[in-house]
């Protein structure tokens, strides 16, 4: 049990230390197909693993996503121009399909359960054209369920300057294409924790609490308190009796309390409202 607890705590600290230090997976970048990977649905004739890993409440979670960013491309820009300009172009026999420069692509992740956040390897999550990148989903989930997690993409293109008869000159500026979901994942978080309760000589009350809680230890123990980001907030060695855990010190949310006494160890949860 002690070995299992050490592995769990080590995973928490490793998760914090490598946060946002993800790397692009060459399996996906070698495809040269713009998008977010792994795919949520099968790509025709490209056998790839689908979706993201499941998680459990109270257990550290880590899932990297690979980003393949769009390069300069050819597209119909008619929907970005005033209707009168499109009409004038059609009348003059000018096509709205033309080559455009991609300035940058911005990514955003929505729908993540409480306790899990995302971070890009570029702080702004804004990637220049043809620049591969990655997003790290990580944290300790505090709620169970199945969550729809869209990874949204906003493309900024450089509209070419067009001289339209009668209407005049248009374009020549950066323009965002309406945001859309590049991938939408189903993230399942199991409500059962994989942590075994191996040490029962303690009591914590009230739990949940809206102010403070009392942790009573029957034996001398080492106590550590972690928040949902894996950060160690309290570390007390060789203590016995009553310990006050205050909302003013921790804040609100779900906290994991590690209690070790001799060869027996456990992790319990405390909720502060």
pLDDT of residue 194: 43
List of the chain residues with pLDDT < 50 = 1-20, 193-198
- Map out the domains of the chain with their CATH numbers: 26-190 (2.60.40), 202-272 (2.60.40.3080)
- Determine the 3-state secondary structure of 79 from DSSP: helix
pLDDT of residue 8: 46
| Angstrom distance (rounded) from CA 113 to CA 246 | 25
Alpha carbon separation from 211 to 86, 134, 214, 269 (Å, rounded): 63, 40, 11, 16
Q: What is the token pair recorded at 160?
A: 């070419």
What sections of the chain are H helices per DSSP? Answer: 2-17, 26-29, 83-91, 247-250
What is the DSSP-derived secondary structure letter of residue 209? B
In 3D space, the residue among 62, 56, 53, 51 whose CA is nearest the CA of residue 21 turns out to be 62
- Positive or negative, the CA dihedral 17, 65, 32, 161 is negative
Alpha carbon separation from 51 to 43, 61, 65, 180, 183 (Å, rounded): 12, 15, 10, 18, 9
Using only C-alpha atoms, what is the Rg of the chain? 26
| Angstrom distance (rounded) from CA 148 to CA 9 | 28
How many Cβ atoms are within 10 Å of 269's Cβ, its own excluded?
16
Do the beta carbons of residue 266 and residue 197 sit within 8 Å? Answer: yes
Specify the residue for token string 């009230």.
206
Burial 15-40 (b: 16+ CB within 10 A, else e): bbeebeebebbeebbebeebbbbbbb
Specify the residue for token string 């306790």.
115
How many Cβ atoms are within 10 Å of 215's Cβ, its own excluded?
24
pTM of the full predicted structure? 0.58
């Amino acid at each position: 049990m002690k070995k299992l607890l050490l592995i769990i705590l080590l995973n928490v600290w490793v998760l914090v230390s490598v946060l946002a230090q993800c790397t692009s997976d060459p399996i996906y970048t070698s495809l040269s197909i713009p998008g977010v990977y792994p795919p949520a649905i099968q790509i025709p004739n490209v056998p790839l693993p689908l979706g993201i890993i499941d998680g459990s409440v109270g257990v550290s979670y880590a899932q990297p996503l690979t980003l393949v960013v769009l390069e300069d491309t050819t597209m119909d820009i008619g929907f970005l121009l005033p209707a009168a300009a499109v009409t004038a172009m059609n009348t003059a026999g000018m096509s709205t399909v033309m080559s455009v420069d991609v300035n940058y692509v911005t990514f955003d992740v929505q729908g993540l359960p409480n306790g899990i956040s995302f971070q890009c390897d570029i702080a702004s999550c804004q990637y220049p054209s043809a620049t591969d990148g990655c997003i790290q989903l990580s944290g300790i989930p505090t709620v169970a369920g199945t969550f729809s997690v869209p990874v949204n993409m906003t493309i900024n293109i450089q509209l070419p300057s067009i001289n339209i008869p009668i209407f005049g000159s248009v374009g020549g500026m950066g323009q965002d294409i309406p945001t859309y979901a590049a991938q939408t994942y189903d993230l399942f978080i199991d409500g059962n924790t994989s942590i075994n309760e191996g040490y029962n000589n303690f009591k914590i009350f009230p739990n949940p609490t809206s102010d403070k809680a009392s942790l009573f230890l029957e034996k001398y123990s080492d106590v550590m308190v972690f928040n949902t980001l894996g950060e160690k907030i309290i570390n007390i060695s060789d203590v016995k009796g009553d310990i006050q855990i205050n909302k003013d010190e921790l804040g609100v949310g779900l906290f994991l309390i590690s209690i070790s006494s001799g060869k027996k160890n456990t992790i319990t949860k405390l909720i502060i409202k």
